[in-house]
Amino acid sequence: MKESNNVVVKVKYQGLNQPDRENPRPEMVTEWYVGRIVVVIVSILLLIGGLIYFFNRDPSPEVVIPENKAVDAMVSQKNKEPVKAIVKLPVLNIKKQEVMTSLTPLPPIINNKKVDKVLDIKPKVIMHKHVARALLVSGVNNKEPGTEILLPVVVNNMKASGVYYFTEIINMKGKTLYHQWLRDNQLVYERKIKILGKRWRASTSKLIPYSKAGKWRVRLVNKQGEVLNEIEFKVVKE
């Protein structure tokens, strides 16, 4: 016979033909199925414990990812739950000679192009006591020099580069000097300068085309050929 899961309530009351008793109220008897009640309570406790564990667990599980897939894993997790990734990096075995090679300076870049050899950036200059200033500049305005030219001078086959040689001579009033331009030790231009004051400024210029690249010199000399100032520079092709 199948057992019932219902709670049984028994009520005793006086019949119609039975004599009256001292206690006329009906008597109620309740029978409880203790085993089923215990099972229900345990189930409720387990459900509560499961919910507490679910909300208190670590949301970032630790995952070991191979080194060659570490980047892909990080990208795939960008919009997802964060993942703690442990990546094992390989130990690099670099020799001392290779480190020194990597530190060797590279050739300079001029106008975004490499030059085959390292060029002398600072020119060789000879300066006499009567020469206050001597510069290679991009132009002269109101007898004063403009921006000093960065060396070496770079030329291309589309446009020549203009170079100005500016000098300021002091305490040589009445003397005659010369500006000379030389390319590969050959005189290509000379200008006579008469000094008419104690402080005298003089300048000459040269337009250097693509075909005239090479070693250049500008100098200030007197009638006796004594060099009062000299600047060496290089003109390179772009």
The pLDDT tens digits for 100-128 are 444 444 444 444 444 444 344 444 567 88
Amino acid at 189: Y
**CATH class, 119-237 region:** mainly beta
pLDDT at 57: 67
Q: For the chain, how are helix, strand and coil distributed in percent, rounded to 5?
A: 20, 40, 40
User: How does residue 84 score in pLDDT terms, banded at 50, 70 and 90?
Assistant: low
Domain locations in the chain as residue ranges = 8-56, 119-237
Q: What span, in angstroms and rounded, lies between the C-alpha atoms of 72 and 55?
A: 29
Q: Is the backbone peptide bond immediately before 26 cis, with ω within 30 degrees of 0?
A: no
